[in-house]
């Protein structure tokens, strides 16, 4: 480690870094049945599948007998799972019953910028926002969460988040567990600080990379177990935490990674652990023997050379979810699928790239700038293939998320990416001082006046300005002007 790095680390250590250790494994009993978010009801109106989501306050009993004040969609904590088909038009009525503006962003979704739910589409208290778009991307585990300017960390931390599952012909025909909540199980992994009164606390002491909590939740359940009745179970893992990066796996078995952020890999990849930074998803298939028990574990994370004290929060070892197999298990196929014919036509090719952009992330800035609602940072031309070269230039972890697209990681410091980064991605963990080359193409939608966002998905960093805006325009068109503040709907 260079002398400068040590000095920087000591400097930052001096400004209030508090380790967020997780309650030791043997103090958590896995006796609570895993909550499964309900599938959101929908109705078809004028050819569109219409959902509704209401952001509201409530209380949740994370710990026995303790009512914790939380926020949720259509309930006190988290939200229902939305589910739609490729090709379908969807609409969502988003109502805000909170006392402050919020928004709902469809993370990982390809859609017009005005429907994206970022900071330019805030919903005032009492207001309703009605985005609509056509689902036009491969099957995937996406999610939704608020994105209000400067307050995303708080809104997500209080509990506003849910899954948005997309299906298509290829995913339905796949040899993969498909019964929602039975052998195809959403798992939203989060960590919380509960104070002595059992209330949610966000640290405000400048801790890096944000609040690291000692209570670990799976779908809002502390010490969760799920009863497995089939030989294989598919876990749709979402890191819904605001800051913590997990290294998830099982101590006693390998698993098959089948999908990343934007959908299925080319083929399953057998591995022991998968690293998930805030915002990232991974679908894994785990096999079980009758009557046995195993636990999804977060291992001491390989944070890519992040040195103390930034490794905190990654270096705890703890369990997340217990899987309990019943004495008889229904047969499950070996994971296999053929990706749609479509996939080959849509393929991104580096040789098609005509634009290269560079992004350098320091402690809170991207290319030396912090977020400005009234500034467009990048202007992309629709259908142009682009390479984004992204690098954290400080010895601390960041992530990089781009709205509207699924990208491919071409290389990490010149080397091919590991399997968990080789599929479709919308968010990537940035190991310090390494260059990630991301290949992407913005398609279908242009709007010179309404920007999409790119940002660090460590939500404190995002709120403190580690975000930029880009518009997608027609060839030859100029970027328009964006309002510095939007009134909300
Ligand atoms: Cu999941 Cu811009 O966010
Ligand atoms: Cu960051």
Domains and CATH numbers, the chain: 3-28+176-330 (2.60.40.420), 32-172 (2.60.40.420), 341-473 (2.60.40.420)
With a 6 Å cutoff on the Cβ, whether 403 touches ligand 1 is: yes
**Cα(421)–Cα(423) distance, rounded to whole angstroms?**
6
Q: Are 314 and 244 in contact (CB under 8 A)?
A: yes
* Nearest-ligand number for the alpha carbon of 454: 1
Please give the distance, rounded to the nearest whole angstrom, from the Cα atom of residue 434 to the centre of ligand 2: 14
With a 6 Å cutoff on the Cβ, whether 461 touches ligand 1 is: no
With a 6 Å cutoff on the Cβ, whether 185 touches ligand 1 is: no
- C-alpha distances out from residue 108 to 72, 118, 129, 237, 395, Å: 20, 12, 19, 14, 27
pLDDT of residue 439: 98
pLDDT of residue 114: 98
What residues flank ion ligand 2 with Cβ within 5 A?
398, 456, 458, 461
Q: Are 212 and 313 in contact (CB under 8 A)?
A: yes
Residue 22 is classified by DSSP as: P
**Cα(267)–Cα(280) distance, rounded to whole angstroms?**
19
C-alpha neighbours within 13 Å on the C-beta side of residue 155: 30
With a 6 Å cutoff on the Cβ, whether 244 touches ligand 1 is: no
Please give the distance, rounded to the nearest whole angstrom, from the Cα atom of residue 365 to the centre of ligand 2: 9
Instruction: Using DSSP, state whether 269 is helix, strand or coil.
Output: strand
With a 6 Å cutoff on the Cβ, whether 453 touches ligand 1 is: yes
Residue having the nearest C-alpha atom to atom 1 of ligand 1: 107
**Cα(467)–Cα(402) distance, rounded to whole angstroms?**
10
**Cα(226)–Cα(215) distance, rounded to whole angstroms?**
18
| Position in ligand 1 atom list of the atom nearest CA 145 | 1
Helix (H) or strand (E) holding 7: helix 3-14
**Cα(482)–Cα(33) distance, rounded to whole angstroms?**
47
With a 6 Å cutoff on the Cβ, whether 437 touches ligand 1 is: no
**Cα(180)–Cα(489) distance, rounded to whole angstroms?**
34
* Nearest-ligand number for the alpha carbon of 146: 1
Following CA atoms 298, 188, 23, 306 in sequence, which dihedral angle do they give, to the nearest 10 degrees? 50
**Cα(443)–Cα(302) distance, rounded to whole angstroms?**
35
At residue 280, φ and ψ (nearest 5 deg) are: -80, 155
Please give the distance, rounded to the nearest whole angstrom, from the Cα atom of residue 457 to the centre of ligand 1: 6
Q: Are 205 and 16 in contact (CB under 8 A)?
A: yes
Instruction: Using DSSP, state whether 327 is helix, strand or coil.
Output: strand
What does the radius of gyration of the chain's CA atoms come to, in whole angstroms? 21
pLDDT of residue 303: 76
Question: Which among 73, 77, 74 is positioned nearest to 59, based on CA atoms?
Answer: 77
With a 6 Å cutoff on the Cβ, whether 216 touches ligand 1 is: no
Question: Which among 337, 349, 19, 314 is positioned nearest to 178, based on CA atoms?
Answer: 337
With a 6 Å cutoff on the Cβ, whether 155 touches ligand 1 is: no
pLDDT of residue 486: 62
Neighbours of 314 (CB within 10 A): 23
* Nearest-ligand number for the alpha carbon of 460: 2
pLDDT of residue 12: 40
Strand 48-60 with 68-73, pairing: antiparallel
Residue having the nearest C-alpha atom to atom 3 of ligand 1: 107
With a 6 Å cutoff on the Cβ, whether 281 touches ligand 1 is: no
Q: Are 389 and 437 in contact (CB under 8 A)?
A: yes
Please give the distance, rounded to the nearest whole angstrom, from the Cα atom of residue 469 to the centre of ligand 1: 12
Q: Are 275 and 313 in contact (CB under 8 A)?
A: no
With a 6 Å cutoff on the Cβ, whether 408 touches ligand 1 is: no
Each residue of 268-293: pLDDT tens digit? 999 999 999 999 999 999 999 999 99
Residues in the chain predicted with pLDDT less than 70, given as ranges, are 1-27, 307-315, 340-345, 485-489
Strand 89-96 with 132-134, pairing: antiparallel
The pTM of this model reads: 0.94
Please give the distance, rounded to the nearest whole angstrom, from the Cα atom of residue 118 to the centre of ligand 1: 8
User: Which two structure tokens, joined as six digits, stand for 15?
Assistant: 């400004």
Q: Are 216 and 22 in contact (CB under 8 A)?
A: yes
**Cα(346)–Cα(264) distance, rounded to whole angstroms?**
14
Please give the distance, rounded to the nearest whole angstrom, from the Cα atom of residue 483 to the centre of ligand 2: 25
| Position in ligand 1 atom list of the atom nearest CA 427 | 1
Residue 73, beta-bridge partner list: 55
Give the DSSP per-residue string, 36-63: -PPBPP-EEETTEEEEEEEEEEEEE-SS
Please give the distance, rounded to the nearest whole angstrom, from the Cα atom of residue 288 to the centre of ligand 1: 34
Question: Which among 143, 183, 150 is positioned nearest to 164, based on CA atoms?
Answer: 143
pLDDT of residue 471: 98
């Amino acid at each position: 480690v260079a002398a400068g790095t040590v000095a920087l680390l000591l400097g930052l250590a001096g400004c209030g870094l508090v380790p967020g250790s997780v309650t030791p494994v043997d103090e958590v009993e896995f006796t609570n049945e895993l909550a499964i978010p309900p599938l959101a009801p929908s109705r078809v109106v004028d050819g569109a599948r219409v959902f509704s989501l209401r952001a509201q306050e409530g209380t949740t009993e994370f710990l026995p007998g303790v009512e914790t004040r939380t926020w949720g969609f259509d309930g006190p904590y988290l939200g229902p799972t939305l589910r739609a088909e490729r090709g379908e038009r969807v609409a969502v009525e988003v109502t805000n019953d909170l006392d402050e503006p919020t928004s709902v962003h469809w993370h990982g979704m390809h859609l017009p910028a005005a429907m994206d739910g970022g900071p330019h589409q805030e919903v005032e208290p009492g207001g309703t926002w009605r985005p609509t778009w056509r689902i036009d991307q491969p099957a995937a585990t996406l999610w939704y969460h608020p994105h209000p300017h400067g307050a995303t960390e708080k809104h997500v931390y209080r509990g506003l988040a849910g899954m948005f599952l997309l299906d298509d012909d290829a995913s339905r025909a796949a040899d993969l567990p498909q019964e929602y909540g039975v052998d195809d199980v959403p798992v939203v992994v989060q960590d919380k600080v509960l104070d002595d009164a059992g209330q949610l606390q966000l640290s405000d002491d400048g801790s890096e990379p944000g609040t690291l909590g000692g209570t670990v939740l799976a779908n809002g359940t502390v010490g969760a177990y799920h009863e497995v009745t089939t030989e294989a179970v598919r876990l749709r893992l979402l890191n819904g935490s605001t800051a913590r990066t997990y290294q998830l796996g099982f101590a006693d078995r390998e698993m098959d990674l089948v999908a990343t952020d934007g959908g299925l890999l080319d083929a399953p990849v057998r591995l022991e652990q998968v690293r998930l930074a805030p915002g990232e998803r991974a679908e894994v298939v785990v096999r079980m023997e009758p009557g046995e028990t195993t636990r999804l574990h977060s291992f001491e994370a390989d944070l890519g050379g992040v040195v103390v004290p930034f490794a905190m929060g990654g270096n705890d070892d703890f369990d997340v979810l217990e899987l309990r197999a019943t004495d008889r298990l229904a047969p499950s196929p070996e994971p296999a699928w053929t990706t749609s014919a479509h996939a080959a036509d849509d393929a991104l090719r580096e040789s098609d790239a005509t634009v290269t952009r560079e992004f350098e992330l320091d402690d809170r800035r991207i290319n030396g700038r912090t977020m400005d609602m009234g500034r467009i940072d990048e202007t992309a031309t629709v259908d142009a293939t682009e390479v984004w070269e992204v690098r954290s230039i400080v010895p601390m972890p960041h992530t990089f998320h781009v709205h509207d697209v699924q990208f491919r990681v071409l290389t990490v410091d010149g080397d091919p990416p590991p399997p968990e980064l080789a599929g479709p991605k919308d968010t990537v963990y940035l190991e310090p001082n390494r260059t990630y080359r991301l290949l992407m193409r913005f398609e279908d939608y242009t709007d010179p006046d309404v920007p999409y966002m790119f940002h660090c998905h460590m939500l404190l960093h995002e709120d403190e300005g580690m975000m930029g805006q880009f518009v997608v325009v027609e060839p030859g068109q100029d970027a328009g002007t964006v309002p510095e503040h939007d009134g909300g709907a």
